[in-house]
């Protein structure tokens, strides 16, 4: 055998022997997979002291699952067995948290259909929005972010389909069934205009919450409508949600004190139910989307929804279905649910 050929074979053998095995390759990818799994598993332990980081993570918690295919691609390219095995942790935790949302849990037989929509202060077509909402067939319809300029339009267009209504500030409820015992609910908002993201000529009233009783064939149903404070994400300050959090706490206390056993909360809560800020609400109410929906039910922003911040929460009644309606002129999508006794 030629000496050079022999030397080349020896060098190749040494080179192959010195390569790390599949369990030693991709250790960085394996570590990242484990960290991702731990973040999903222990998200409630992420502190809120700095920039409300915990709430920020929980707001977009389902989207952390997108890191799994990215890490898996890297693991396959590196032929790393350790990284592939490590990915079992985030996959298992993600499926435990959100796998149930991938199953259609809706059932027929609802006694009452409720809907909620942040109609948008800068909605260019309030009349069209109102007609779209009538077409939904909802028996009880909650609107949030009603401007003084658009209020007359909503009242006029919705009047025939919904003979009963109550409006307090920027929130209102339209119903096919009689209403009574209506009162405002303090959701801890400062007086004055909304944030600077709204047009300068749009001046919003102070009140953004109400409570009323709907008379149904099965008995009285307490309905709350709320529009909690907006949140902002700032690279320096993190998640700014002070007003929203205070409103969620006040709303939770109001619901806890509610004497009616049957309660429905409709509104733009500016947060997802994974956010710890809503623990006071979720300890008394359950999400119609979680119980009877199909998918995540993202409602904002309308053009490319990334979070469900428009909520339908219930107590004492059973959600039979929950869904997202088609887009209107608002930057939110309407949400609806069928409930039964």
Q: Check whether 218 has a pLDDT greater than 90.
A: yes
Q: Which two tokens stand for residue 258?
A: 């509610």
- C-alpha–C-alpha distance, residues 135 and 138, integer Å: 8
Q: For 45, which DSSP code? A: G
- Collapse the DSSP code of 240 into the 3-class scheme (helix H, G, I; strand E, B; otherwise coil) and give the result: strand
Residue 316 gets the label, from left (phi > 0), alpha (psi -120 to 50) or beta, of left
Cα distance from N-terminal residue to C-terminal residue, the chain: 89
Residue 234: what pLDDT?
Answer: 77
Residue 12: what pLDDT?
Answer: 67
- C-alpha–C-alpha distance, residues 192 and 6, integer Å: 86
pLDDT digits (tens, 9 = 90+) for 313-328: 999 999 999 999 999 9
* Residue 146 burial (C-beta neighbours within 10 Å; 0-12, 13-18, 19+): buried
Q: Where are the domains of the chain?
A: 3-102, 112-340
Residue 97 gets the label, from left (phi > 0), alpha (psi -120 to 50) or beta, of alpha
Residue 104: what pLDDT?
Answer: 96
Q: Check whether 205 has a pLDDT greater than 70.
A: no
Q: Give the global pTM.
A: 0.88
> If you count them, how many residues does the chain have?
341
Cβ-Cβ contacts under 8 Å for 223 (sequence gap 6 or more)? 114, 140, 142, 173, 211, 212, 213, 214, 263, 264, 265, 266
- Residue 6: Cβ within 10 Å count: 10
Cβ-Cβ contacts under 8 Å for 76 (sequence gap 6 or more)? 84
Query: Which residue(s) pair with 226 in the sheet?
Result: 209, 267
CATH superfamily of 112-340: Endonuclease/exonuclease/phosphatase (3.60.10.10)
Q: What is the mean pLDDT of the chain?
A: 91
At residue 8's C-alpha, the angle toward residues 7 and 9, to 5°, is 90
- C-alpha–C-alpha distance, residues 156 and 222, integer Å: 25
Beta strands in 12-148 (DSSP E): 112-118, 140-144
Q: Check whether 17 has a pLDDT greater than 70.
A: no
- C-alpha–C-alpha distance, residues 309 and 301, integer Å: 9
């Amino acid at each position: 055998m030629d000496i050079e050929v022999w030397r080349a074979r020896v060098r190749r053998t040494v080179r192959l022997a010195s390569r790390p095995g599949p369990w030693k390759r991709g250790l960085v990818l394996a570590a990242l997979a484990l960290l991702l799994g731990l973040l999903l598993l222990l998200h409630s332990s992420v502190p809120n002291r700095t920039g409300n980081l915990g709430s920020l993570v929980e707001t977009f918690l389902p989207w952390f699952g997108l890191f799994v295919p990215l890490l898996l691609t890297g693991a396959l390219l590196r032929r790393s067995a350790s990284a592939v095995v490590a990915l079992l942790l985030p996959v298992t935790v993600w499926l435990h948290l959100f796998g149930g949302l991938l199953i259609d849990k809706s059932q027929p037989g609802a006694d009452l259909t409720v809907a909620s929509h942040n109609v948008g202060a800068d909605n260019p077509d309030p009349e069209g929005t109102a007609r779209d909402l009538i077409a939904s067939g909802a028996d009880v319809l909650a609107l949030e972010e009603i401007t003084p300029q658009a209020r007359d339009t909503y009242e006029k267009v919705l009047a025939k389909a919904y003979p009963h209504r109550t409006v307090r500030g920027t929130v209102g409820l339209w119903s096919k069934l009689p209403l009574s015992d209506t009162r405002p609910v303090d959701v801890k908002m400062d007086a004055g205009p909304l944030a600077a993201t709204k047009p300068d000529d749009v001046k919003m009233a102070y009140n953004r919450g109400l409570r009323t009783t709907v008379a149904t064939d099965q008995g009285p149903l307490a309905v709350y409508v709320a529009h909690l404070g907006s949140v902002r994400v700032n690279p320096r300050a993190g998640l700014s949600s002070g007003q929203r959090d205070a409103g969620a706490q006040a709303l939770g206390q109001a619901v806890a004190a509610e004497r009616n056993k049957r309660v429905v909360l409709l509104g733009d809560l500016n947060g997802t139910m994974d956010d710890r800020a809503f623990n006071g609400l979720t300890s008394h109410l359950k999400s119609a989307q979680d119980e009877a929906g199909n998918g995540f039910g993202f409602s904002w922003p309308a053009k490319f929804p990334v979070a469900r911040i428009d909520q339908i929460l219930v107590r004492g009644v059973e959600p039979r279905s929950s869904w997202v309606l088609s887009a209107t002129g608002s930057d939110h999508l309407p949400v609806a649910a069928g409930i039964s006794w």
